[in-house]
Structure 1
Amino acid sequence: MPARDINEEIIEDLYSEALVLADDARAAFDLRVQDARSHMGDLTRVALSIEGLRTTTRLMHVLAWLLNQRAYLAGELSERQLERCGALPEEREADADNLGRLESETRALIEESERLHARVVRLDRDWRLQRDEATSVASLQGRIAQAFATA
């Protein structure tokens, strides 16, 4: 999706989706609730903890990126500030062995968070590419204008 297609509606839809996923993740990875429901083994408990941390971190990164986009669209951040501070950190995908120990609903939640993160990565990458291209074009136009003005 080209960066010019990033607008408030897309950001708000993604933000709502991320909030719902974050709330679902909080419920899914709450070990107090998990312990009360079943007597899971130690390895399953560790897998749940690790993937819970990865999933919630992934979602918090997405939410932070979306909040930066919202601030930019509202005029609270400059393009330069967004470029400098609004990058999405690199993803750490779920571990296949850990996923195998988890319930199917939990695996589906993790996969959904990975898909959301991948969508936001594409938006971020496209925005940065378009910005870099625009900067390069503006620089070239400036150099051409200077060359003809001095000739």
Structure 2
Amino acid sequence: MARPSSLSRPIIESLYSEALVLADEVRAVFAIGMGEMTRDADDMLRLALSSEGLKATTRMMHVLAWLLNQRAYFEGEMSEGQLRKHSKLPHDRPSTPEDLELLEEPTCDLIEDTIRLHRRIARLDRAWRDGFETAPGVRQMHERIGQALMAQEVQKGRQNSL
């Protein structure tokens, strides 16, 4: 998969659509799951469903907020400075294996989908903040080589003029 060299409106719009669909699935699964639980359901299951539902919902809200800020920037409603200052994606809170063991496989798969999307957005956020430099060390090395070659050319020019 090719790495983007910058964020563009089509990338943000595509991710926004994906995030909306996933957020709706999260809302439906956890709202229905909590609503269908009987009073005699295991307390640990209730706690796991509530905890993982809150984490998945929060994760999706952070992703959507980040994407909405990007959209506002592309619409000219935010400056780049405002975007850099106010739109850092918060760190994710990981799921606990003990909670995941209590949940059904489709619910765990949905949680994993939210984690993967958050990780993708986090990579984009870091790359955008770093100016999409994939290897800053390599760039610095190229600059030093260029400077050394220029210095050699200058030195040759001085020697030829003598």
- TM-score, shorter chain, exceeding 0.5: yes
- Kindly tell me: are residues 92 and 110 of structure 1, through their superposed partners in 2, closer, same or farther at Cα, counting changes over 3 Å? same
Could you tell me which residue of structure 2 aligns to residue 118 of structure 1?
119
Deviation per CA, 1:33-90: give whole Å up to 9, x if none: 3326x95311001000000000000000000000000000111100000000010001
Q: CA deviation at 1:3?
A: 4.7
Output one character per residue of 1:2-57: Cα deviation in whole Å (capped at 9) or x when no partner: 451x1111111111111111111111111443326x95311001000000000000
Name 2:148's counterpart in structure 1.
none
Q: Which 5+ residue runs of structure 1 have no aligned equivalent?
A: 134-151
Aligned partners of 2:34 and 2:50 also within 8 Å:
no
SS of residue paired to 1:93: coil
Show the 5 A alignment for 1:42-81: 42-81=43-82
Q: Deviations over 1:121-141 (max 9, x none)?
A: 0100000001898xxxxxxxx
**Residue 130 of structure 1 aligns to a residue in which SS?**
coil
Aligned to 1:13: 14
Is the CA contact 1:87–1:124 (under 8 Å) kept in the aligned structure 2? yes
Residue 27 (1) aligns with residue 56 (2): no
1:136 corresponds in structure 2 to: none
Identity %: 51
Structure 1 ranges of 4+ moved more than 2 A: 31-34
Contact 1:3 1:123 in 2 (8 A): no
Counting matched residue pairs gives: 131
Which structure is richer in relative contact order (CA contacts within 8 A, separation 6 or more)?
1
User: Based on CA coordinates, which of the two structures has the bigger radius of gyration?
Assistant: 2
Tell me the distance in 2 between the aligned counterparts of 1:33 and 1:102: 15
RMSD value over aligned CA atoms? 1.9
The TM-score with structure 1 as length reference comes to: 0.81
Question: Structure 2 counterpart of 1:114, which letter?
Answer: I
The whole-number CA distance in structure 2 between the counterparts of 1:3 and 1:98 is: 38
Structure 1: distance between partners of 2:124 and 2:113 = 17
Paired residue type of 1:99: L
Q: Distance in 1 between matches of 2:36 and 2:109?
A: 17
